[in-house]
Amino acid sequence: MTRAVAVKTRDRILKAALGLFNERGEAHVSLAQIAGRLGISEGNLWYHFRAKHDLVAALFAELEERIERNLSRKPPAAGTHLADFGDYTRQSFRDIWEYRFLYRHRYDPAAESELARRMADLAQRAHRHTERILAEMVARKLLAASPQEISELAANAWIISRYWLDYLQERHGLARITEAELQAGVKQLFALYRPYLTDAARAQIAAAHPPAGKKKAARG
């Protein structure tokens, strides 16, 4: 097997495993079922992943990379557009949804100490990045908050980001998440920020969402 073929097969295995784990839950999926979905032998799968735990660890690494890439990126170098900061939340929702089985699993610190530690570290890094993003909003005069308030807002923002999609599924029984639900999550998050938004930020929201039924003035 050439290196290129091996990499392609590995990627296909990860994609198939992710789909099955999300559909059924990792505990209810076997390596044989993953191989069956791909139409390959279990021996071929074992060449890349000896155990289901190895698959879960590899998918966790993908999630870590995506979360880090999203939250560590800098906002546009100039400008005071509130929408630029909503993009962080939208992408976080997409990442959480795509790897949702990892968030539904409750890691046993004794039996799964490595993954439990990595999940705790991921939440801590996300919290720090969120504090940095909020501080940047303060610097651009979109938010008026003290360092202590930023820390508190960051914790609550992560809770909303982490559980928004679970809330939608539990309350409305949604099997699929659309961009409309992602945008509703961004709106919910900015409701948390509302008491701290500056007049300039509030004006942007008002311009983007004019009151229902309000008509433009007729030109004379």
Model confidence pLDDT, tens digit, residues 135-148: 999 999 999 999 99
Does residue 161 fall inside a structural domain?
Answer: yes
- Where among 19, 34, 50 does a domain terminate? 50
What predicted TM-score, i.e. pTM, was given to this entire model?
0.84
The pLDDT score that the predictor gives to residue 86 is 87
Same domain assignment for residues 117 and 191: yes
User: Structural domain of residue 2, as residue ranges?
Assistant: 1-50
Same domain assignment for residues 31 and 4: yes
C-alpha Rg value of the chain to the nearest Å = 21
Same domain assignment for residues 35 and 82: no
Does residue 215 fall inside a structural domain?
Answer: no
Residue 90's CB is within 10 A of a number of other CB atoms, namely: 17
pLDDT digits (tens, 9 = 90+) for 153-194: 999 999 999 899 999 988 888 888 899 999 999 999 999 999
Same domain assignment for residues 126 and 192: yes
The pLDDT score that the predictor gives to residue 211 is 66
Same domain assignment for residues 70 and 45: no
Same domain assignment for residues 105 and 84: yes
Residue 22 sits in a domain whose CATH number is 1.10.10.60
Does residue 113 fall inside a structural domain?
Answer: yes
Burial environment of residue 52 by CB neighbours within 10 A (0 to 12, 13 to 18, 19 or more): middle
What residues in the chain have per-residue pLDDT under 70?
1-6, 78-79, 209-220
Same domain assignment for residues 33 and 64: no
Same domain assignment for residues 44 and 122: no
Same domain assignment for residues 9 and 84: no
Same domain assignment for residues 80 and 62: yes
Same domain assignment for residues 95 and 20: no
Number of domains within the chain: 2
